Chains A and B, each alone.
Chain A
Amino acid sequence: MVEVGTSRVKRGMAEMQKGGVIMDVVNAEQAKIAEAAGAVAVMALERVPSDIRAAGGVARMADLSIVEEVLKAVSIPVMAKARIGHFVEARVLESMGVDYIDESEVLTPADDMFHINKKDFTVPFVCGARDLGEALRRIGEGASMIRTKGEPGTGNIVEAVRHMRTMQAQIRKVQSMSYDELMAEAKNLGAPYELLEYVHKNGKLPVVNFAAGGVATPSDAALMMQLGADGVFVGSGIFKSENPEKYARAIVEATTHYTDYELIARVSKGLGAPMTGIEISKIREADRMQERGW
């Protein structure tokens, strides 16, 4: 018997991305640069997060001609973003053959109450999370991969670090709890009990957990890997830097060899300027993308 879209097939796809870098691209040319630099996948977008932030207004699923152009340009997997709760955007992307859908807070949410029921889809989903409860809620809805939310489009790693540290600390705490305490903790975190039970037994999420939202340099990528990320998403960090090709290659190498400081030093030399960053406290609360979704 042949089964498509099983949880093993969807989660397994993310397992194959481990130790790799997923890069945001807005056209075929950028997608080819990313592939040549060693990206494990590309995220096809109309605008990178820092431009979305600058443009304001409503950010929606990308122009589908861009998605199609990127699908044709590369042989590595192609991801695309749908608005939180917008299951029609997700269905449209699925029908086009996109390999992974990011139900993303970078876009303006379509539903302020409910996320997409991702179990219904054959295509796998990745979702952002700031803590363990949020990660397990998304997995409960069928997400096959988690990433930290960080604060997209800022080139500032502090929020991604906070989210990853929070998640790891909560995982350690749940692991060391007695069985009797798990239901109360499920209530505290707002997490499905069975998934919390998995974390208790295994000391990790049942799916791959990447870092995202603020990675701008090779050292940022290595930092997130050391904090426990399985891989890294780089949004604006590559194509908003002075030399995207070099940045892309350097971030790929630093992600593979995240504890080899001599190597990170070598690949970080002569890269030119990274993207311009934003201090988080300068962003109005209402403009913080990480607050979108729950």
Chain B
Amino acid sequence: MKIGVLALQGAVAEHLRLLEMAGATAVPVKKVEELEDLDGLIIPGGESTTISKLMHKYGFMEAVRRFGEAKKPVFGTCAGAILLANRINGQEDYHLGLMDMKVERNAFGRQKESFEAVLPIAGVAPDFTAVFIRAPYIMELGETGEVLAKFDDKIVAARQGHYLAAAFHPELTEDSRFHKYFLDMVKESRGVRAAT
């Protein structure tokens, strides 16, 4: 199983390391051509405005949308979750719009309010250390979405079909259970794609 990590900016190396810990072949993706032979893609944490601008510049917006529409799984963490959403609170525009959800940026405050907390994540772990850094949260999740975790009654992890989003940074821990969950989604999707 070959998983790419979008490597325009942000915490790329951390995701690559955890993917390998979880048993996948992991590669950084800097050019759209590199998406071709991947089974899944992670959009890492970083600055969503920076990553979005670079995605536009190099044709990644269309390429990642096609990737998602081909039923290949995409996992966004923090900035990556903002990029996946089809609505952003207080903004007219959105980025990829692949996942039906409304997100609020910097929803827990500035850096000094950033925190970590141990959360239960449905299907992943009863005790996952979630690191929130100037994190967003999911204000509204579309009907087909499944809430995986909440903090303070706010949705902070969700799945919708072959899309996965986390407001926090599993890549900043040594815990590969969230990445394993994503790899299971990738396996599942390969089965579905092979059958159709």
The residues of A with any CB-CB pair to B shorter than 8 Å are 1-6, 8-9, 12-13, 15-20, 35, 37-41, 75-77, 94, 97-100, 122-124, 252-253, 256-257
Contact = CB atoms under 8 A, between A and B. Distances in A.
A12 B115 contact: no
B49 A13 contact: no
Contact of A18 (B9, B30, B57): B9
Interface string B92-133: 000000000000011001111111111000000000000111
A4 B115 contact: yes
B182 to A, nearest CB: 19
Given A8-B116, A99-B134, A16 B49 contact: no
Interface in B126-151: 131-134
Contacts of B116: 2-3, 6, 8-9
A12 B49 CA distance: 18
Contacts of A38: 49-50, 53-54
A123 B111 contact: yes
A174 B142 CA distance: 53
Contact of B47 (A1, A41, A98, A100): A41
B112 A122 contact: yes
A100 B111 contact: yes
B160 to A, nearest CB: 24
A15 B14 contact: yes
B47 A8 contact: no
B3 interface: no
Contacts of B115: 2-4, 6, 9
B156 interface: no
A12 B110 CA distance: 14
B133 A2 contact: no
Contacts, number: 114
Contact of B9 (A2, A8, A35, A40): A40
A186 B53 CA distance: 44
Contacts of A257: 30
Contacts of B12: 18-19
21 contacts: A2-B116, A3-B115, A4-B113, A5-B112, A6-B116, A8-B172, A9-B114, A9-B116, A12-B114, A13-B114, A15-B14, A16-B10, A19-B12, A19-B46, A35-B49, A37-B53, A76-B47, A97-B110, A99-B112, A252-B53, A256-B30
A16 B47 contact: yes
A126 B77 CA distance: 24
B169 interface: yes
B57 A253 contact: yes
B7 interface: yes
Interface of B: 7-14, 30, 45-47, 49-50, 53-54, 57, 78-79, 105-106, 109-118, 131-134, 169, 172-173
Given A8-B131, A75-B106, A20 B114 contact: no
A15 B13 CA distance: 9
A160 B12 CA distance: 25
Residue of B10, B109, B111 with most partner-chain A CB within 10 A: B111
B11 A16 contact: yes
B8 A4 contact: no
A16 B111 contact: no
B111 A124 contact: yes
A123 B112 contact: yes
| 6 closest A-B pairs by CB | A99-B111, A19-B9, A40-B47, A38-B53, A4-B115, A97-B110
B88 to A, nearest CB: 10
A39 B57 contact: no
Contacts of A256: 8-9, 30, 54
A256 B113 CA distance: 29
B45 to A, nearest CB: 5
Given A35-B49, A99-B134, A252-B50, A94 B11 contact: no
B172 A15 contact: yes
B126 to A, nearest CB: 15
Contacts of B11: 12, 15-16, 18
Contacts of B110: 97-99
Nearest to A99: B111
B134 A77 contact: yes
A99 B117 CA distance: 20
Contacts of A19: 7-10, 12, 46
